[in-house]
Amino acid sequence: MRRIRRLGAAIVLAAAVTCAGTGCTVIPVSGPYTMSEPGAGDPLTKPFQRMIATSPQPSWGPEQTIRGLQAAMAAYADDPTVLPQYLTAEALKAWTPSGAVTVLDEPLQFDPPEPGGAEPVQRITLSAKQVARIEEDDTYVPQSGNWERPFHLVKVEGVGYRVSQLPDGLILTRSDVDRAYRPTKLYYLNGSTQDRVVVDNVRLRLKPAETYAKVILERLLKQPSGALQGAASTAFPAGTKIESVRFGEDEHVVVNLSGPLDLLDLSGEDALMAQIRYSLNNNDVAKGRGISVLVDGEPYTSYQPDADDQRWLDNSGNTAFYVSKGAVHHMTKEGPGGAVAGPAGEQRQGYSDFAISKLATHVAARTSTGISMAPLTTQGGQWQEVIRGDDLTPPSWHRDGSLWTFDQKNRVVLRYDPAGKRGPIVVSAPELDRLRLDVTRLRIARDGVRVAVITGKNTVQVGALTTMGGLKLANFRPLTTTEEGNEILDVAWRDDEHLLVLAQSKAGQILNEINVGDGEVAEIPLKDRLKVLAALNEQVLAEAFGEKGKGPKILQLNEDLSWTSKIDSDVESPLFPLG
C-alpha cells in the first residue's frame, strides 16, 4: 500500500510540475499532428465591389448629372432609390429598367451643351463605343460600332439638373459590367437524349446579400438563354426554390431546396446533381467540395468530389483517326497507326469527308452519289449508302447515333437514323429556310444540341437542335463573318463552348477559336496552310498541305500554340468521334 501511495504521489507531483511548466509557456511547442485541411475561406462566393450611387448635387452641371445618372444605373440593381432622383416626374413615370442592358466602352464622350444657353432645357449627347448588349435572358451579345444618345435636362432651381426623358433600359460601362457581372457557365440537360449536360454561357449580376453559388443556382432554375431555348431543359421541376446554399460540415456545400421534388423519386437526382455540380464547380465555386442536396431539410442526393464521374460530359473517347489513301486509320501517340477494322480500313477511292460516330462504332463518308456509312467491325460489314444526293454537305454524327447532312440542292436538313430502318428524313430548319441560306457545312457539337453551319461562304452561324414541337434546327445566330471575298474553309467543335473556324483571306489563312457563348475570339497562329480541322478539347489536329511530292500531312497544335507535324505524308482528314 505504501508503495502504491508513493507511486501515486510521484505521479501527482510529476503532473503538477508538468502543468506548472506548461503554464509558464504562452504557446507550447507541440506537434507534428495530422490535421484535415480546413477550407480556404468561403467557397460559395467571390469578393466583388459595387458602385455606390450618389444623389444629384445642385452644383453639378449637365455632364456631371449624366455621369451621376449612369452611375445610378450601374447601382440600380442594388439600390433602386437613387436613380429616380435624377429624373423629372414625367420621365420617371415613363421609364422602366427592363430591356437589354447596353454596355459601352470607356471613355464616355459628352457633346457639351451650347455655352451660355439660357433655355431651361439643356441637350447633351453621350457617345461611346458599344461593346455588348446583355439580353434579358442574361445572354451577353458582343456588339461593335458607335453608340450615341442625346439627353434632355431640365434645370430645377435649388436642386440642379434633372433628366426629362430617358429611354427604357440601363446603360452600363464595361467597368460596371466587369464589376457587377460574372461570365457564368450554366449547365442544362440535353433536350433530346437527356444523357449529357449542355453549357449555357450567360452573364449573371452579383447580389451583395447573396452568395455567388445561390445566384447561379437560382438562375439554373429558370430556362436556358435564347440560344438553347427549347433545346436544353432543366432537371429542376417547375416551382422548385433555393432555400439556402451554405457551407456545411466536412467541407460540404449544402443546397437546400423546396418545392415539388419527391424525396422517394430518385429518377432525376443524377441529372439534378450534375447540373448543380458542373454549374458550381466550372465557375470556380465550391470546387473540390462535396455537395449535398436537401429537399425541405431532408437529404435528397449528394456528391463526393473524389468520385470521377464524367459521364455527363462524355465526349465519346479521345481516340484520333486519320485517312490515308481512302482507308481510315487509328492515330497513336507517335503518329501513324493501323487501319481500322472493317471496310473503312480498306483502301478505296471516291470516299471523302469522313466522320466517326459516337464510341467509334461507325464511319460515314461522302461519295459522289450521297453519303455512305460502314461499321468499324470485322464481322461482315460493308459500305452502305444511306443518304442519296449529289450535293450534300459532309456528314456529321449526332451522339444519338443519327447521321446528319444538308442537301444543298433541295435546301433541306437530312437526318438518317440507322436504328430507325427508314430512309433519311427532313428536319425542319425554319430560319435557314426563311433566309434561303446556302449551307456549305453542318457540324453537330458533341453535346448533341449545338449546331454550327457555314452559310454562304463567309458566315458561321450557331443554332441548336430543339425538341419543342418536334425536332428542328433553330435559334440560329451569326457567330462570325469574314469580309467579302474571304472564305470559311472549315469549322470544328473543340469543346462545348468553343468552335474553331478556319478562314481563307487574301492575306492568308486565319484560325480563330470563338466562344459561342459570348463571342470572344482567340486567334491561333498558323505556319502552314490548313485544309481540314479536327479538335477535341486540348487536342487540335489539322490537315495541312504538304511539301511537294509528299502529299498532305497532319499537324498537331501544342499548348504554346505552335504546330508540330504528327504524320508527315500522304495522310488527310484527321478525325475525332462526333464534333
Chain residues that interact with another protein, rule: CB under 8 A: 40-42, 45-55, 57, 59-60, 64-65, 67-71, 74, 79, 106-107, 173-175, 178-179, 208-210
For the bound state, the minimum distance from the C-beta of residue 68 to another protein, rounded and expressed in Å, comes to 3
Q: Which three cell numbers stand for residue 434?
A: 426563311
For the bound state, the minimum distance from the C-beta of residue 66 to another protein, rounded and expressed in Å, comes to 8
Which of 266, 368, 267, 358 lies closest to 319, judged by CA? 358
For the bound state, the minimum distance from the C-beta of residue 50 to another protein, rounded and expressed in Å, comes to 5
Pick 46 or 325: Cβ nearer another protein: 46
What's the CA gap between 347 and 335, in Å, rounded? 19
Is-contact 203 182, C-beta < 8 A?
yes
Pick 22 or 55: Cβ nearer another protein: 55
Q: Which three cell numbers stand for residue 203?
A: 452573364
For the bound state, the minimum distance from the C-beta of residue 210 to another protein, rounded and expressed in Å, comes to 7
For the bound state, the minimum distance from the C-beta of residue 102 to another protein, rounded and expressed in Å, comes to 16
What's the CA gap between 574 and 355, in Å, rounded? 9
User: Residues 6 or more apart from 37 whose CB is under 8 A from it?
Assistant: 251
Pick 71 or 444: Cβ nearer another protein: 71
Strand 320-324 vs strand 298-303: parallel, antiparallel, or unpaired? Answer: unpaired
DSSP string, 505-524: ETTEEEEEEEETTT--EEEE
- Hey, which residues does 399 pair with through a beta bridge? none
For the bound state, the minimum distance from the C-beta of residue 131 to another protein, rounded and expressed in Å, comes to 12
Pick 67 or 348: Cβ nearer another protein: 67
For the bound state, the minimum distance from the C-beta of residue 276 to another protein, rounded and expressed in Å, comes to 22
For the bound state, the minimum distance from the C-beta of residue 215 to another protein, rounded and expressed in Å, comes to 13
What's the CA gap between 2 and 436, in Å, rounded? 109
Please say whether the dihedral angle defined by the alpha carbons of residues 94, 98, 100 and 102, taken in this order, is positive or negative: positive
Pick 150 or 208: Cβ nearer another protein: 208
Pick 206 or 451: Cβ nearer another protein: 206
Amino acid residing at 108: L
Pick 78 or 417: Cβ nearer another protein: 78
Is-contact 103 131, C-beta < 8 A?
yes
Pick 71 or 274: Cβ nearer another protein: 71
Alpha carbon 43 to its chain centroid, in Å, reads 22
HSE (side-chain half, CA atoms, 13 Å) at 560? 2
Is-contact 163 153, C-beta < 8 A?
yes
Pick 170 or 501: Cβ nearer another protein: 170
For the bound state, the minimum distance from the C-beta of residue 38 to another protein, rounded and expressed in Å, comes to 14
Pick 35 or 40: Cβ nearer another protein: 40
Place of cell 503532473: 15
For the bound state, the minimum distance from the C-beta of residue 219 to another protein, rounded and expressed in Å, comes to 18
Pick 209 or 238: Cβ nearer another protein: 209
DSSP 235: S
DSSP string, 258-281: ESS--TT--TTHHHHHHHHHHHHH
Is-contact 355 371, C-beta < 8 A?
no
For the bound state, the minimum distance from the C-beta of residue 106 to another protein, rounded and expressed in Å, comes to 4
Is-contact 359 316, C-beta < 8 A?
yes
DSSP string, 396-421: EE-TTS-EEEEETTTTEEEEE-GGGT
